A and B are shown apart, each in its own frame.
Chain A
Amino acid sequence: GESVGLHLPTRSVQEGDNSIINCAYSNSASDYFIWYKQESGKGPQFIIDIRSNMDKRQGQRVTVLLNKTVKHLSLQIAATQPGDSAVYFCAEIANTGNQFYFGTGTSLTVIP
């Protein structure tokens, strides 16, 4: 069978509340960051991206914040819905044009 996996960090949030998922990155040369969402039984889905010359970018109900000083990335989801329950992965890229590598995911559970 499969190898025993690592336990993902988990967060639970009440439906309708705002949620924040955090990610630390390691490479100070990284200049592009992305968030992916993976629902159970599905492939990952691109959510939002941000370049290092920005510290905030907004999408539909999602906001990504970048703090280059402390190498921290966060994803904020407004008015969380049950459909937001998923694992969220961040990824950092140095030298855009190369492939990226997923970081450790965070499992978000929305409580109805």
Chain B
Amino acid sequence: DAMVIQNPRYQVTQFGKPVTLSCSQTLNHNVMYWYQQKSSQAPKLLFHYYDKDFNNEADTPDNFQSRRPNTSFCFLDIRSPGLGDAAMYLCATSLDRGDYGYTFGSGTRLTVV
């Protein structure tokens, strides 16, 4: 089935140690998004790629970076994770801008120790 796949499902990293989360999609959607969701809060948009164009949210810390090497894959890099970065990280895709029926992955739960 076409879907959005996030690996790993659970990730434990050390304070300050770089970590990469991955997302892949078989939908051939143009747009890919990364969200951060902390406990009992709404998902917060970090950035998105429209094709190869990177769009950063104004309040996304510099500690968070992203790469999209091709249509199917998108990575979230956290350069120096802090305790406050522990959260669920959700990847989503949409066919195009203005298409709001996003398809979300199941997320990667990041723990920082």
Contact = CB atoms under 8 A, between A and B. Distances in A.
Q: Do A and B bind each other?
A: yes
Interface of A: 1-8, 32, 34, 41-46, 49, 89, 91, 93, 96-105
A99 B112 CA distance: 29
25 contacts: A1-B83, A1-B111, A2-B38, A2-B39, A3-B86, A4-B39, A5-B40, A41-B106, A42-B104, A43-B92, A43-B104, A43-B106, A43-B107, A45-B104, A46-B102, A49-B100, A49-B101, A89-B42, A91-B100, A93-B100, A97-B98, A99-B48, A101-B45, A102-B43, A105-B42
B90 A2 contact: no
A22 B108 CA distance: 29
A100 B38 contact: no
Interface residues of B, number: 29
A-B pairs, top 9 by smallest CB distance, nearest first, are A43-B104, A5-B40, A102-B42, A5-B39, A46-B101, A97-B98, A2-B86, A5-B41, A2-B39
